[in-house]
Amino acid sequence: MEIGNKIMELRKKNGLSQEELAEKIGVARQTISKWELGETSPDLNQAKELSKIFNVSLDELTNNDIKDILVEKTSNTEKLAGLILKFLKFMIIFIIVLPLLLIGLRVLFKNIHEHNSGRLMNASIKCTLHDETYGYEFNYYETTGDIKEAGGDGYLANIIDIGKYGDAYRALDVIDNYVKNNGGTCTRTEPQPVKDK
């Protein structure tokens, strides 16, 4: 709706004639007629006066409908807030689920590795060197020799650095060879399956 039509609508709504409105603003009746016909428009001061007389805002008088703009901006803001919320929910789920997934995969691969590595076995070695007796024990997987646990006298562990051997078969041979090369003797126990606890 153009400003002229709005002026006519508001004038009639307020029960004013063109003459009465012209008198209140301080213009000729013909000026009001020209505004209503859309031939001319009120200047800023006249528009302010009209908004006071009709008790409406300048935006409403000029049909500058900022409500649509506000509704659109609000709608866009709500959409953006919705997207941000979805993103945050995704991130929270991702932060919680990812570690659980990684733990699950680690357990799964460990179980697969242990299953494919054969039974868990136990073997030990006792050695005498320089009139001292030392012992070392291994829990390892039968097929691969991968050491699951190992422990014993620190002397043997320090001298040959057992930690660098991932294979129990090789570690037992290294201990045996070291002790024999240094004038000692070793005896190994027969490997036995580790019983479930």
Q: Domain segments of the chain: what residues?
A: 3-64, 66-116, 120-193
> Would the pLDDT of 195 be above 70?
yes
Q: How confident is the model at residue 71 (pLDDT cuts 50, 70, 90)?
A: low
Q: Is residue 77 scored above 90 in pLDDT? A: no
pLDDT of residue 163: 73
What's the chain's average pLDDT?
Answer: 86
pLDDT in tens, 103-140: 988 888 777 766 666 788 999 999 999 999 999 999 99
Matching CATH number, 3-64, of 3.40.50.300, 1.20.1250.20, 1.10.260.40, 3.10.20.310: 1.10.260.40
* C-alpha distances in Å from residue 101, one per residue of 46, 93, 95, 107, 183: 71, 12, 10, 10, 53
Q: What are phi and psi of 153, to 5 degrees?
A: -65, 135
Q: Is the pLDDT of residue 168 over 80?
A: yes
Global pTM value = 0.42
Residue 188 is predicted with a pLDDT of 95
